[in-house]
Amino acid sequence: MQRTVLLKPAPSIRAVDPTAESSSLPQVSRIIKFMMQHQKLQMGHSELRVKGFDFVAVGNSSSKKDAQARAAQDFVNYLVFIKEVNAGEVPAAAPPSSNPAVSPSLPGGIMIPHHTLQMVLAIYFMSSKAGPSREYPLSQRGPPQRRMEESEDVDRNAEIHGNWTVDNAKSRLNQFLQQNRIREDYKYTIVGPDHNRSYVAEMGFFVKEAHQQIHAREHGSNKKSASKSCALSLVRQLYQLKIIEAYTGVQKKKETENVKLPPYTVAVSPQLVDQLSSCLQLWSIEPVHVKEISSDGDSSQPVSLLTSETLEEFEPATRHAAPGVLPWSPPQPNWNTWISCNIDEGPLASMTLEEVSLDLYNMQCQTERDAHFEVMIQERCKLPVAQSREDILQCIRNSQVTLVRGETGCGKTTQVPQFILDQMINAGKGADCNIIVTQPRRISAITIAERVAEERSERLGFSVGYSVRFETVLPRPYGAILYCTVGTLLRKMEGGLRGISHVIVDEIHERDINTDFLLVLLRDMVRTYPNLRVLLMSATVDTTLFTEYFGEVTIVEIYGRVYPVEG
């Protein structure tokens, strides 16, 4: 089992008093807006792989623990889907541990807007009250500020990085930026509480010689230290890319490199000492006594606190080979397939697929009573593809790969995805349906999505959306159709096709390198995942070629309109 957890740091926020003057109110409003826009930066990402299963469970949340729990829940849902585990054996999800009376929040730990405002104002008023500052226990205090700053300048790896250190890197970086006319500056972020405040400096720019972007983000006790560390990281990257030379000047010797840092007292909380003692007694481990060693030997020699006792030999972790097939899963609860992220807000965060399907069915029934929808239904029934509706749906249910060949203007591009979606919604399985349709050009993806949305008497972004380069209108997370270009789908497939039930490749006769590569990926996925459905559509295409490539392919012929011709 392998688990990967990635956490992104949260932005810092300063409290402001809105009662100080009238001009402060817009500032508080900007703070609240900033908090709501940057809450997703606090997301944790967890992936879970189990040996013997070609599935990667994913979890996203505001903390590492919740992300791991969601990844485990995602894998359990997959086991239920493939009938390895009975649904009745899965325990119900536990309620959140936080007390809503103390800290009201939305799902995923996101503060409610008006409570967020109260929190910001409370922080200000608590910090502005007159009185003695809070006294922290000795075990919670950090090292003295001066000694912390001195220890930051110690560098033991300068030789392997071209002798670039924090003392000479910043000037060399400034010279490089001026020579290449790069206008970039350090961006600082304050982190930590008031009693132990520190800074994070970051900078990034594009290097023409290496044709790539470099970026650095370093931490320091003050702005000067953080910027020097950030410059050192950038300069060393430039040196490793062979863009700049090694440092050949006289290296400045820091006093801390030759003189040991003086020791200072570190306090440990009694609770932690009791926990460590209990753990040592539980495993019968004899710790290293520093006082005995100091009395017997030379106190100037360093003392190792590592014990030689071995509790258990762990088997080396088997390296997970990169699978040759992209991961896929059907639509799952609490998962937005279009942005590849868990749903942390709104009712969809806690609804089951059955409840979502019921809501989709009720909304579909309301839409069918719309006058404009009835007019569009009459126009859709006049298209030649409407006569083959049941044949197409039956072939999709019984075959993994279906080839729909119809003449231009028969309506296959706009109607076939709607046939599938409407049939799933009416059957009470609308949440299990997410369709992605590829188009060879971006203009066709946009115009077709607009046309389909009009036929469904909806606006774009409801059940129909599109995604092309530099422009995206995503639909709802469940029971939706997304039109996109082949290149956009390939970029999305870098992380797999989680939550996609049907993939429709339109105009396959216009073959290019992207379309051929997409067909290669889909062929391997079809062989691995028997529940994935792939539709190939074209006006004029050699069916023998695709039958030999995919194996068992069901072919549906759609004939166009026939007009009388006078001689």
**One domain, residues 498 and 385:** yes
Q: Give the per-residue pLDDT at 33.
A: 44
Alpha helices in 283-388 (DSSP H): 290-296, 353-368, 371-381
Report the C-alpha gap between 488 and 395 in whole angstroms.
27
Q: What is the pLDDT of residue 155?
A: 62
Q: Is residue 544 part of a domain?
A: yes
Q: Is residue 407 located within the same domain as residue 514?
A: yes
The residue out of 213, 230, 248 marking a domain boundary is 248
Q: Is position 492 within any domain?
A: yes
Q: Do residues 25 and 306 lie in contact, with contact meaning Cβ atoms separated by under 8 Å?
A: no
- 231 is in which domain, residue-wise? 164-248
Q: Which of helix, strand or coil describes residue 64?
A: helix
- Of 300, 356, 419, 341, give the one whose Cα is nearest residue 6: 341
Q: What single letter denotes the amino acid at residue 428?
A: G
Please check whether residue 156 lies inside any domain of the structure.
no
Question: Would strands 554-558 and 471-473 be described as parallel, antiparallel, or unpaired?
Answer: unpaired
pTM of full prediction above 0.75? no
Residue owning tokens 């030789």: 159
For residues 497 and 490, the answer to whether their CB atoms sit within 8 Å is: no
Do both 386 and 509 map to the same domain?
yes
CA separation for the pair 71, 58 (Å, rounded)? 5
Distance (Å, rounded) from C-alpha 429 to C-alpha 422? Answer: 10
Determine the residue type at 512.
Answer: D
- CB count in 10 Å sphere of residue 409: 13
Burial letters for 312-326: b for 16+ Cβ neighbours within 10 Å, e otherwise? eeeeeeeeeeeeeeb
Does residue 213 belong to any structural domain of this protein? yes
Which residues have CB under 8 Å from 314's CB, separation 6+? none
Q: Are the CB atoms for 411 and 384 separated by under 8 Å?
A: yes
What are 404's two structure tokens? 């729909």
In the chain, the amino acid numbered 504 is I
Long-range contacts of residues 146-151, Cβ cutoff 8 Å, at least 24 apart: 147/261, 147/262, 147/264, 148/221, 149/221, 149/222, 149/225, 150/256, 150/261, 151/256, 151/261
Burial class (CB in 10 A: 0-12, 13-18, 19+), 52: exposed
**Residue the block writes with tokens 């530099």:** 470
Say if CB 320 and CB 84 are below 8 A apart. no
Residues of the chain with pLDDT under 50: 1-29, 31-42, 94-134, 136, 139-140, 317-322
Of 319, 166, 144, 290, residue with least CA distance to 221: 144
Angle at 29 between CA 8 and CA 19, to 5 degrees: 125
Is the Cβ–Cβ distance between 229 and 152 less than 8 Å? yes
Under 8 Å between Cβ of 336 and 477? yes
Number of domains in the chain: 3
CA distance 126 to 18: 14
The type of residue at 454 is E
Q: Give which of 556, 307, 281, 294 is closest to 415, Cα–Cα.
A: 556
> Domain containing 394 — which CATH number?
3.40.50.300
8 Å CB contact between 191 and 9? yes
Contacts of 80 (CB under 8 A, 6+ apart): 86, 87, 90
Residue 297 belongs to some domain of the structure: no
- Burial (CB < 10 A; 0-12, 13-18, 19+), residue 468, is buried
Determine the pLDDT at residue 296. Answer: 55
Strands 464-468 vs 471-473: parallel, antiparallel or unpaired: antiparallel
What pLDDT does 315 receive?
Answer: 59
495 lies in some domain? yes
The continuous run of DSSP H or E covering 483 comes out as strand 480-485
CATH number of the domain where residue 241 is located = 3.30.160.20
Which helix or strand (DSSP H or E) is residue 545 part of?
helix 543-550
Q: Do residues 356 and 487 share a domain?
A: yes
- Please name the amino acid found at residue 257: E
Q: Does one domain contain both 346 and 466?
A: yes
SS3 call for 509? coil
Please check whether residue 171 is in contact with residue 187, taking contact to mean a CB–CB distance below 8 angstroms.
Answer: no
Q: What angle do CA 503, 504, 509 make, to 5 degrees?
A: 135
Q: What is the DSSP letter of 134?
A: P
Same domain as 349, residue 233: no
Give, rounded to a whole angstrom, the gap between the first and last alpha carbons of the chain: 74
Compute the Cα dihedral for 435, 436, 439, 444 and give only its sign: positive
How far CA 464 is from CA of 13, 74, 368, 447, 450, in Å, comes to 38, 26, 16, 12, 8
Instruction: Kindly state whether residues 479 and 350 are assigned to the same domain.
Output: yes
Structure tokens at 426: 């009416």
| Final residue of a structural domain among 228, 248, 268 | 248
HSE at residue 461, side-chain half, CA atoms within 13 A, is 4
Residue with tokens 């992300």: 67
- Domain-embedded: residue 291: no
Closest listed residue to residue 152, CA positions, set 79, 244, 222: 222
Same-domain status, 342 and 446: yes
Give the bridge partners for 215, in sequence order.
Answer: 204
**Domain-terminating residue out of 226, 248, 270:** 248
Residue 433 lies in a domain: yes
